[in-house]
Amino acid sequence: MGGNESIPTREAGQDDLYNEVSDQYGSALERLARAYEANSERRRDLIQEIHFQLWRSFQRYDARCSLRTWVYRVGHNVATSHVLRERRILSRLVSLEDLEQLPDAANPLQAEDRGGDLERLSRLIQQLKPIDRQVIVSYLEDMDAAAIGEITGLSPANVATRIHRIKNILARRFQQGGHHAR
């Protein structure tokens, strides 16, 4: 997935633009929704909400930023709003820093987890505060620090620190099963 795709002109219809983006980023948006919602029914609603807001947002698309940045911003912002609505969940979320310092045994989700690697990875992401989720999802989508900074609004140094933490956490959590996080 590259950031240098052709940018449609403003004249392109809202529906055409949406169809194009839906084809190109549909799977990525599903993955994004998985990072924010564990329940499959609610995740389906969230995906629909993201698509709806994306379609709506194209009334205002002016190519000020790349289409990819636009799509991810809408996706993350809708999903963040979804998380913030759930106050009970909000109070339990942790930052990357907290997660890095937390011993694996002290992490109840990790200890109880009997699912596959994807399930473990999803649960790990779903524990994080929204801004850290944005960074880890962007990292897992193979974006560079500049693209992550553009989506999240964090400074390059801040993004670099967070990516470093993410690598540490992933390596520590997933190497235990004999797997290696790069």
Partner 1 sequence: MHDDSFGNDPKTLWQNQPAEVSKMTLKLIRMKARELHAKTRRELFGSIAVALAAIVFSGLGLARGEDLAMQLVFVIAIVWALTGQYFLHSGMWSSTLPPDAALSAGIEFCRHELERRRRIFRRVLWLSAGPLLLAIGAFTMPIVAAGIRLDRGLSGKTIPFLALLGLWLVALLYFRSQGRRELEREIIELNDVEK
Residues making contact with partner 1 (CB under 8 A)? 15, 18-19, 22, 26-27, 30-31, 34, 40, 43-44, 47-49, 51-53, 55-57, 59-61, 64, 70, 73-74, 76-78, 80-81, 84, 87, 90-91, 95, 116-119, 121, 129-131, 134, 139-142, 150-155, 158, 170, 174, 177, 179-182
> Residue 20 and residue 142: Cα distance in Å, rounded?
21
Question: In terms of CB distance, is 4 or 64 closer to partner 1?
Answer: 64
Question: In terms of CB distance, is 9 or 91 closer to partner 1?
Answer: 91
User: Which residue do the tokens 């540490």 mark?
Assistant: 168
Q: Tell me how far, at minimum, the Cβ of 67 lies from partner 1, in Å.
A: 11
- Burial class, 114, CB count within 10 angstroms (exposed 0-12 / middle 13-18 / buried 19+): exposed
Question: In terms of CB distance, is 45 or 108 closer to partner 1?
Answer: 45
> Residue 51 and residue 155: Cα distance in Å, rounded?
28
Q: Tell me how far, at minimum, the Cβ of 145 lies from partner 1, in Å.
A: 14
User: Can you say whether the dihedral through the CA atoms of 180, 166, 108, 103 is positive or negative?
Assistant: positive
Q: Are 112 and 120 in contact (CB under 8 A)?
A: no
